[in-house]
């Protein structure tokens, strides 16, 4: 089981979330408000200081209006 934050698949997933946030014109503060979390939560996720659990991942995707399955396909298809 992979538990570290340096796994390339995890990094690809977080980069996908970050680029989606940026494409949608949202700041880390904006996304933090949508998540009902402080903006530092988003910063820590995007800088690999904190790992998202599966429920947080789904909520993150919902806040960005993207499908969680798209991100999972990204990491399971070796993109």
pLDDT per position as a tens digit, 36-75: 999 999 999 999 999 999 999 999 999 999 999 999 998 8
Q: What is the pTM of this model?
A: 0.90
Predicted local confidence at residue 67, as pLDDT: 97
The yes-or-no verdict on residue 79 having pLDDT over 50 is no
CA 71, CA 59: separation in Å to the nearest integer? 13
């Amino acid at each position: 089981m992979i538990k570290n934050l340096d796994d390339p698949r995890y990094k690809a997933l977080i980069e996908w979330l970050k680029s989606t946030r940026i494409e949608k014109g949202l700041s880390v503060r904006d996304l933090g408000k949508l998540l009902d979390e402080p903006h530092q939560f988003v910063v820590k996720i995007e800088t690999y200081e904190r790992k998202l659990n599966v429920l947080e991942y789904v909520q993150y995707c919902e806040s960005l209006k993207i499908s969680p399955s798209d991100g999972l396909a990204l990491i399971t298809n070796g993109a």
